[in-house]
Structure 1
């Protein structure tokens, strides 16, 4: 059974955005939604700034939108322009200090994902 994604209101939180994105993909796959209707099906799970982006940028030509382009645009509409730059600075100065290893690794992984650092060479 397809489990609907949580409603995303455009909060600039990586964990909220990531949860919405992954849950949406699973929902659409499980529901068997055709590719040209996937972005349309997600509009009912958008509120606030996220829905404003959909209404202003996507809705007029929704069947032409692919998921990657939609999520990229949604991110750019909801997060500050310098968000990735600030996350990269945070990554460069990130230290474990007194954090438990699991917590440190989780936060480090989120920073890698946010900044686009994905190659082992860049991580090390």
Structure 2
């Protein structure tokens, strides 16, 4: 990964490194030592300037967090959180909308399941919200998977 601030690229790079380490039963310390082989550009510069001199003090997760903070714009997480909080379905299929808000929420450990339900409820198309209300569902008490199941059925029939 070159440090290009693209969340999908970064996530894929982390996933590939995690998978390689897991499949080969490689300890975190060794993963950190070999990470430089899979970095270029701005990411490699961060690694060589900050991690390499004291690599024994860095966990794999610390490096991921450091790379993210160094390579992505300072306000990136704020922008992502705002995108999550303002998310709405629009013309997107319901299941794609749900995947998008779940993907965004995963970036924020403080976002609870309850908050995710509230975001979903606020952002789904009105006819789906009305359908869920008519069926007796309530965003205060109904889990997300149940809301999605019933809303998706209505969307398919619509």
Q: TM (normalized to structure 1)?
A: 0.85
The CA deviation at 1:27 is: 0.5
C-alpha change, 1:34 and 1:120, in structure 2 (3 Å) is closer
User: Could you tell me how far apart the structure 1 residues matched to 2:116 and 2:85 are?
Assistant: 10
Q: 1:44 corresponds to which residue?
A: 37
Q: 2:59 corresponds to which residue?
A: 66
SS in 1 for 2:2: coil
Say if 2:10 is the partner of 1:17: yes
C-alpha change, 1:15 and 1:117, in structure 2 (3 Å) is farther
User: Could you tell me how far apart the structure 1 residues matched to 2:96 and 2:6 are?
Assistant: 17
> How many pairs does the alignment contain?
117
Query: Gaps (5+ residues) in structure 2?
Result: 118-158
After TM superposition, the structure 1 = structure 2 runs for residues 1-124 of structure 1, keeping only pairs within 5 Å, are 8-124=1-117
- Larger gyration radius, structure 1 or structure 2: 2
CA RMSD of aligned residues (A): 1.5
User: Could you tell me how far apart the structure 2 residues matched to 1:115 and 1:89 are?
Assistant: 12
Greater relative contact order (Cα < 8 A, sep 6+)? 1
> Segments of 4+ in structure 1 off by > 4 A?
none
Query: Gaps (5+ residues) in structure 1?
Result: 1-7
